[in-house]
Amino acid sequence: MRRSTTTSIRGKLAALAATTALLAATGAAAESPSGGGTMVATLHPVAVEVGRVDEKATLGTAKFTQGDGKVDVLIQVNGFPLGDREAGPASDGAPATVPFDVTVVKTDCTKAEGSPELVKLPQLQVKDDGSGILMASTDAVKADQLAGQAVVIGAPGNKRHVACGVIAAR
């Protein structure tokens, strides 16, 4: 019995080694075929009166993960400033929220105002306690195209940004 168990383990190890070698040779072990990777931005408040990003404060994160033909987006915020806006009731019985536009622009946060859009995402719904989560997907870009760009969040129809973060590989 012991001999067959040892032989079985050796066979499995040989198969695992062969599979690992095949994956390494094709590059499949390192990344997904669509250019994989995860990009993250720390979201900082934008001081509206001076138009500057306050990098000492953090409002949340934006995570962009390459999937199969799409980028999955997860944005989480806490303590998000609502300004003078009030949360409106949702028609489906969900908590009252305030909508904010979310856009990735082709620049960093210092020049985000008026920069061309790379991707427009669905609105981030923020509850009156300042918390919110956005989960979405986009096929407009690949994750590796987002590096160095800025994710900006602002009130709908308003050119002023409430939060901004530069996207980087993690």
Instruction: Place 36 in a pLDDT band, splitting at 50, 70 and 90.
Output: low
Instruction: Place 52 in a pLDDT band, splitting at 50, 70 and 90.
Output: confident
CA-to-CA distance for 167 and 75, rounded, in angstroms? 12
CB contact at 8 A, 150 and 112: yes
pLDDT at residue number 35: 52
Mean predicted lDDT score pLDDT of the chain: 79
Instruction: Place 51 in a pLDDT band, splitting at 50, 70 and 90.
Output: low
Q: pLDDT tens digits, residue range 121-160?
A: 999 999 999 999 999 999 999 999 999 999 999 988 776 7
Q: Would the pLDDT of 84 be above 80?
A: yes
Instruction: Place 20 in a pLDDT band, splitting at 50, 70 and 90.
Output: very low
The phi-psi region of residue 93 (left if phi > 0; otherwise alpha if psi is between -120 and 50; otherwise beta) is left
- Assign a CATH topology to domain 33-169: Immunoglobulin-like (2.60.40)
